[in-house]
Structure 1
Amino acid sequence: MKPNLTTTLVESLRERISSGHFAPGDKLPSENTLIAEHGVSRTVVREAITRLQAEGLVHTRRGAGSFALTPPAEPQMASALVPRTLDERRALMEFRVGFESEAAAKAAATYSIKDLAAMDEALRGFEAASGNASASMSCDYEFHLAVARATANNYFSHAVQNFGPSMIAMPRRRLEPSESRSAAQWGLVAAEHQAVRDAIASGDPQLAAAAMRIHLANSIYRLESESGSKN
């Protein structure tokens, strides 16, 4: 029964997001509200939110709740942009190396105290997630979105929002707690995020671009190492 209940809830929330009932940035109903409205368990609600996160339709901020993201204009476009194979995830990461390195460089010249605060909040959330794949993916996305917003160029932040959390190239099986990374691996990612943040705060565009490039190049390496020959 549970998979059917989860699928039904996913389809209901997906339709409400795509139709604009939940506008981009709107907070979704709380777990308790969804439980009452749909007559499902807390486990079903959490599984549905996790699936919507993987589709790039929802992101969750620790302690704040889940929020709707901007859906692409065409459903076919959404399917095309969500990376599923190793080759697609690698292609997305290669695009991000150029795109986000430039964003980090720009951010170093334009950031505000508010922007740094947003990065710090995402960093704290990532560390607090303790390797939980779904929560870490959300905080990872929030960090990169904060960098994009720090450029003071809406095209950068709009592009990141269009990708949504699906831009974080994490294999679907890694959303299972038993497949979460070791503490050391999560620590490496956290350290790289911190290096990007500190480079931006230094006001040095070249240093910021280099820090982001190193982080994303390492992400490609980790993606391929963890995926092995299965993809």
Structure 2
Amino acid sequence: MNQDVLAARRPRTLALGLVDALGERIRDGRLNAGDKLPTEAEVMAEFGVSRTVVREAISKLQAAGMVETRHGIGTFVVGPGDASAFRIEPQQLATLRDVVAVLELRIGVESEAAGLAAQRRTAANLAAMRAALAAFAAAVEEGRDAVAADFQLHSEIARATQNEHFAGLMATLGAQIIPRARLEASGVIDPQRQAYLRRVNAEHESIVDAIAAKDADAARAAMRTHLANSRERRRRAVEAP
């Protein structure tokens, strides 16, 4: 399967399309248990995607039990995985009510993740969070939405728990869980929306500051406030006449 076939699978994200393409090769036997996956560079060249997309796709395949990464060696096929494994499909995020339901799940999971991150984060984790904050701010100031940077920040917080299950769940959910990725048009943003996104990143900064200070209670509260604000905004939209 090449880049033309992958592109034809839109509007699903490129990462989800790549998961489908590689997963299909595993299921139909073109890639068997024990086989080594192509390198990141080879996958990027074949499918015409970025390194970030490849890494997100590999994370999803890992979470589904289809591949495993052996550090310093490569990524190897485990098997076709469990078709019943937890996932949220794009069609399950088609409405405002769907998005509110996922935000309720995220409040529970990510609030605790923020608290654990405050207790366990490393300097490298913190630097990665700061980089995501900077990428978000840069996108907004350039008049662009910041879905990728938003998801990156939440993923870095999950990684900072030092608990692979938090990071694996975020990888399984993917960037589609950022409400703007499903409900709002992409492209150039207007001044009102730009101001809103600045407020969102201020909430992000509060979370990261609490994690940096190793204040677990404050980190949990900041994350809960951030996600609850997003949930309430969507709830009001659902209830609007």
**Map 1:173-212 → 2, pairs under 5 A:** 173-177=183-187, 182-212=193-223
Alignment counterpart, residue 147 of structure 1, candidates 157, 160, 165: 157
Mapped to 2, the partners of 1:172 and 1:160 lie a distance apart of 16
Mapped to 2, the partners of 1:24 and 1:197 lie a distance apart of 35
Mapped to 1, the partners of 2:237 and 2:38 lie a distance apart of 33
How many aligned residue pairs are there?
197
Structure 1: unaligned runs, 5 residues or longer:
36-48, 50-59
Residues 173 and 179 of structure 1 are in contact (CA less than 8 Å); yes or no, is this contact kept in structure 2?
no
- Residue 128 of structure 1, CA deviation: 1.4
* Sequence identity (%): 29
Q: Does 1:8 align with 2:8?
A: yes
Mapped to 2, the partners of 1:24 and 1:222 lie a distance apart of 43
- Residue 13 of structure 1, CA deviation: 4.5
TM-score (norm 2): 0.67
Q: Does 1:66 align with 2:53?
A: yes
Residues 170 and 223 of structure 1 are in contact (CA less than 8 Å); yes or no, is this contact kept in structure 2?
no
**Aligned equivalent of 1:96:** 106
Q: Does 1:215 align with 2:226?
A: yes
- Residue 105 of structure 1, CA deviation: 0.6
- Residue 78 of structure 1, CA deviation: 5.2
Mapped to 2, the partners of 1:25 and 1:160 lie a distance apart of 23
- Residue 65 of structure 1, CA deviation: 5.2
Alignment counterpart, residue 132 of structure 1, candidates 135, 144, 151: 144
Q: Does 1:29 align with 2:44?
A: yes
- Residue 18 of structure 1, CA deviation: 2.7
Mapped to 2, the partners of 1:107 and 1:197 lie a distance apart of 9
3-state DSSP class of the match of 2:180?
Answer: coil
3-state DSSP class of the match of 2:44?
Answer: coil
- Residue 82 of structure 1, CA deviation: 4.4
Residues 82 and 166 of structure 1 are in contact (CA less than 8 Å); yes or no, is this contact kept in structure 2?
no
**Aligned equivalent of 2:71:** none
In our comparison, the structure showing a higher alpha carbon Rg is 2
Structure 2: unaligned runs, 5 residues or longer:
65-81
Mapped to 2, the partners of 1:220 and 1:100 lie a distance apart of 14
- Residue 98 of structure 1, CA deviation: 1.2
- Residue 224 of structure 1, CA deviation: 3.6
Letter in 2 for 1:152: Q
TM-score (norm 1): 0.70
Q: Does 1:111 align with 2:121?
A: yes
- Residue 137 of structure 1, CA deviation: 1.1
Structure 1 window deviating more from structure 2 (207-216 vs 181-190): it is 181-190
Alignment counterpart, residue 85 of structure 1, candidates 92, 95, 101: 95
- Residue 204 of structure 1, CA deviation: 1.0
Residues 111 and 220 of structure 2 are in contact (CA less than 8 Å); yes or no, is this contact kept in structure 1?
yes
- Residue 87 of structure 1, CA deviation: 1.4
Say if 1:224 and 1:208 are closer, same or farther in 2 by CA, change over 3 A.
same
Residues 137 and 168 of structure 1 are in contact (CA less than 8 Å); yes or no, is this contact kept in structure 2?
yes
